[in-house]
Amino acid sequence: MDTIKRAMLFEGKAIVDVLDTTEIVQEAIKVHKLSDDAAKALGRVLTIGAFISSGFKGADNKLTIIVDGKGNGGKMVVSADAGAKVRGYIQNPKAMGSLEGVVGRDGYINVIKDFGLKEPYNGLSEIVCGNISMDFAYYFTKSEQLPSAISLDIDVKNGVCKKAAGIVVQPMPNCTEDIIVILEDIVNQMKNIASIVEERTAQGVIDFYFAHFPIKQLDDINPSYVCSCSKKKVSEMLMTLGRKELEDIIKEHGKIEVGCQFCDKKYTYLAEDLDSIFSK
């Protein structure tokens, strides 16, 4: 089972999250038939999506992340609900090459948080290097004024995710500069966080690297790959097109088929299905 282990450091001056998202990445590989290189890119965005959505308080809070660096993988989109329920896709699931080549270095990160208020929070920052870890560290610093040390790593070969992991350390407003330097130095040594988590486990990483500081363990979270699509939602979307438009599509093609980009599920509608859609 995937997990997020969390702890408060230095009497509330910083928080560390260590994530094991191996099953999430393996599910994404299965659903989208990802190449190893595409999985390494999308897996990192899924992991950071799990981290962000794990902090949501409202059950109806929603997250959308768009990463568009103009790389050969194309645009990556990750959506998530509260409790780190994530899903995502990459435009070119067969992309090959270095991480920076798949992600690209000439584009942006867009993070949209919908808390059910009048307008959602919309954060935007440019991609600085294409390795996702540094790009999101830059995003948090620039767009959310929250300097963060981040390391994300996906170990996948021949379609099998051996380990997917990440570590995020974020200082609170009362954190001092000397503590920030110490924590950044620790995280900067974890370029291969997937191997470290595989060897020590997520909890073991906290125990080994941080337990000698003042520490308070927080509740665990179990992230998962969950798609929120449904026949009801698709039907409601089709209703907005109007009955005549739908009838014309069915007349031309014999049916309407709507595919979910996140889980690859197909929803098919025939002429006789329109009565049930519009009767509602």
Q: What is the pLDDT of residues 72-84, one digit of tens each?
A: 999 999 999 999 9
Q: How many CB atoms lie within 10 A of CB 38?
A: 28
**Helical segments of 164-242, H only:** 177-188, 193-200, 202-210, 231-239
Amino acid identity of residue 99, one-letter, is L
- Residue 153 near residue 192 (C-beta atoms within 8 A): yes
Confidence of residue 107 (pLDDT cuts 50, 70, 90): very high
Task: Give me the residues paired with residue 6 across strands.
Answer: 17
Cα gap 196→169, rounded to integer Å = 16
pLDDT given at position 279:
78
What percentage of the chain carries pLDDT values higher than 90? Answer: 88
Cα gap 57→114, rounded to integer Å = 12
Note the Cα 13 to chain centre separation in Å: 26
Q: What is the pTM (predicted TM-score) of this model?
A: 0.93
Q: What is the pLDDT of residues 247-265, one digit of tens each?
A: 999 999 999 999 999 999 9
Is CATH 3.90.1280.10 what the domain over 231-278 is classified as, yes or no?
A: yes
Confidence of residue 280 (pLDDT cuts 50, 70, 90): low
For the chain, the structural domain boundaries read: 3-225, 231-278
> What is the CATH superfamily name and number for domain 3-225?
Hsp33 domain (3.55.30.10)
